[in-house]
A = this chain, B = another copy of it.
Amino acid sequence: MADPSKQTGIDMETARSRTSIQVPAVRDFLYAGAARWRKREQIVDILTKDPVFDKSKRLFATRKELYIRGQTLANRLYELQEIHGWSKEDTNVALAVVDEGLSIGLHNVAFEPVFRLQASPELFAKYIDLIANKGIIGCYLQTELAHGTNVNRLETTATYLPETREFDIHSPTLTSTKWWIGALGKTATHGVVQAKLILPGGNDLGPHLFLVQLRSLDTHASLPGRIIGDIGPKAMGGFATTDNGFARFDHVRIPKENMLSKFAGVTDEGKYVTPPHAKLSYGGMLYIRSGMVTTAGTTIGKGATVAIRYATVRRQGEVGPDGLERQTITYPSVHVRLVPLIARAYVFVELGRALTRGFDSLARGLSSGDTSELAEMHVMTSGLKVLVSTTGIQDLETARRSMGGHGYSAFAGVGRMYADYVPAATYEGENFVLDGQVLRAALKAFRGIFASSSPATASSLSPTSKYLRLLLDKELVPPELSAASWSQPATAILLLEWRAALIVHESAQTLAQPDATATQRVSRAVTEAFVAARVGELIDALGAALPPQEASVVGKVYLLYLLTTVEASLVDLLSFGIFRASPTGNPPRSRDPTRALRLAIAGLCGELVPEAIGLTDAFGFSDWELDSALGVYNGKAYDALWARVQQEPLNQTEVTEAYETSIKPLMLRGRKIASKL
């Protein structure tokens, strides 16, 4: 009989040889060009060979050790940047492939962009070289202990003192303590503080931004008047490397010039200079959110790679003609869960790229005061942030659970990915709050199409409200569905657009008495209609981007995205009568109108199973990146697991020290009782 631990390697080789796609072609497509992939590969290679980036001990370390390790990694990364002459983009790639929440990353994504967007030309000139080169390390202090979402209720004050031309930064209460601030705990020297601007006479102008030095550049000790520290461990061991911190300010004075006053300022006398657009300060948040779409894609991609590789080599259950149990990937109940992860990873990676391009254009506009794209970008990133974070969290857990018991081993790697990813639901805008913003924008667009003065037309609708065109023509009805409908991306897209249109209509009709989940339903429907339309465009563009066979396979992947989205929205589609199965369309002997859709999904997943290893190989994750014993490239999961287990600290002594102190006394007591019985 075959040795099961040898069989794993054979199974992986066989699966790899069976894929019909050229992995490099698809990989280059995912990386938007062979050059970008090669550069990334070089960087990964450098890090993998550098002992500083060894990951073998981190699962056994305390959080304090992990924080210190994170600082070592950051310092080494910028050393490598100098040694190898990496561009800023190269270093960002390096930062991204190091799967750690490095404090310096917060400097890059939260502190520096806000400073660039909002500093006055004078402040910008004074600090930008230091900031861009990490001569100082910054953080962005917005959230307070008892205040997050509603920035207007922040308690920290910045009171202008005309006599000295200074601001007095103050935390009046315990609950005004800045909290959760990444890189603040033990690292940052400076911070951009969001505080209520108080002008002479007590006039409160709401939150504005101020550059405040936090720590001494000589000793790194906190400067007087700042009580600063780390907020402690995160749930499930997530973000252990990051020093999320707190800060209380006791009447800290800063010069007037330290206000970030590109768009709103104060005169020497203490008069307010009004900003041209109230939402300009959202720029930073939008930047972070637009990056979250791609991150969700690569995160799901990692989980999918690990789970699909393990399902390819794991044999359980029924015994086949070769006398071996079946590979678990061959079970429909397994692959119908895992193949859709590939689809969502592909869609989010491509979508995120488009969004980042959109943000670059927005940022150029904002820097010259043009805010015309801001509202659309805001609603788009809000809805997408909710959709991709919710989906990503769910998909990682699906990946982990699909691996059975071993998925719960830390060596499987996916638990760690989950713990680091799960706060995406609550940071950078709590998902339920963002849903509310999407709902408001949708209702505004809906009212726009019936506006008496200049009603919207199909062509004047913005991309995020294009679905409303379906309400402009009373003759239009949702399509009649047959089994053949599900091979057409257009059908699925149209259904999802109908759903958005009717659910927004319903929401507008019942505004006076909304039910408790209406906001979430509307937000999801609107965002999924937007994404579905984009996926349609991605499908149309495939022929030009990939060779025929690869285009065909990736086309199926995108179609699967659409069909699983339709399946997940069946309640809405059925409630609103959008899901109109043709009487002849239902398979024989079935009373379930959704059966044809479910069979189409199962069929598509089945067709894609032989491509699953190729499609996940195309993400290009190295074993070092995945750090998963179950997701090793060569498939030898059990050997990898065995090797990892030998490093467990408990296994370094034959008899645990707990024996003498606890186990022996417990058993001796038991034996004494037993012998007396």
Contact = CB atoms under 8 A, between A and B. Distances in A.
25 contacts: A3-B173, A5-B174, A64-B650, A67-B656, A71-B656, A133-B674, A134-B667, A145-B638, A148-B405, A149-B317, A187-B656, A189-B667, A220-B656, A220-B663, A233-B648, A236-B238, A238-B415, A333-B517, A336-B516, A336-B517, A404-B430, A502-B591, A510-B590, A516-B605, A575-B594
Contacts of A432: 333-334
A138 to B, nearest CB: 11
Contacts of A584: none
B74 A650 contact: no
A674 B129 contact: yes
A661 B598 contact: no
Interface in A2-32: 3-5
Contact of A427 (B133, B221, B405): B405
Interface in A346-379: none
Interface in A164-187: 173-175, 177, 179-180, 185-187
The 4 closest A-B pairs by CB, nearest first: A235-B415, A336-B516, A236-B236, A135-B670
Contacts of A658: 67-68, 71-72, 186-187
B419 A407 contact: no
Contacts of A656: 67-68, 71, 186-187, 220
Interface string A500-524: 0010011001100101111110000
Interface in A573-606: 574-577, 587, 589-595, 598-599, 601-602, 605
A333 B516 contact: yes
A186 B650 contact: yes
Contact of A642 (B174, B601, B651): B174
A654 to B, nearest CB: 5
A288 to B, nearest CB: 15
A62 B59 contact: no
B59 A60 contact: no
A79 to B, nearest CB: 7
Contacts of A221: 654-655
Main DSSP-derived SS at the A contact region: helix
A78 B672 CA distance: 13
A315 B144 CA distance: 12
A645 interface: yes
B592 A575 contact: yes
A344 interface: no
A419 B236 contact: yes
A529 interface: no
A534 interface: no
A400 B510 contact: no
A669 B82 contact: yes
A541 interface: no
Contacts of A238: 236, 408, 415
A400 B233 contact: no
Nearest to A136: B667
Given A145-B642, A516-B601, 18 more contacts: A4-B146, A60-B62, A60-B233, A62-B649, A75-B666, A104-B666, A130-B670, A133-B673, A149-B317, A174-B638, A186-B656, A220-B664, A229-B645, A232-B645, A235-B407, A235-B414, A317-B433, A517-B598
A665 B516 CA distance: 53
Contacts of A75: 661-663, 665-666
Nearest to A239: B408
Nearest to A652: B64
A416 interface: yes
A567 to B, nearest CB: 9
A222 interface: yes
B410 A233 contact: yes
B410 A235 contact: yes
Nearest to A187: B663
A641 interface: yes
A648 B231 contact: yes
Interface in A41-89: 59-64, 67-68, 71-72, 74-75, 78-79, 82
Interface in A411-428: 411-412, 414-416, 418-419, 422-423, 425-427
Contact of A591 (B576, B598, B665): B576
B134 A666 contact: yes
Contact of A234 (B334, B409, B601): B409
A657 interface: yes
Contact of A638 (B74, B175, B505, B670): B175
B673 A325 contact: no
A625 interface: no
B650 A67 contact: yes
A274 interface: no
Contacts of A575: 570, 574, 592-594
Contact of A150 (B174, B317, B409): B317
B235 A416 contact: yes
A671 interface: yes
B576 A332 contact: no
Contacts of A645: 229-232, 246
Interface in A90-149: 104, 129-130, 132-137, 143, 145-149
A232 B644 contact: yes
Nearest to A601: B516
A440 interface: no
A433 B590 CA distance: 25
A278 interface: no
A175 B74 contact: no
Contacts of A646: 229
A627 to B, nearest CB: 13
B219 A655 contact: yes
Interface string A302-318: 00000000000011110
A677 interface: yes
A237 interface: yes
Given A232-B645, A238-B408, A570-B571, A515 B671 contact: no
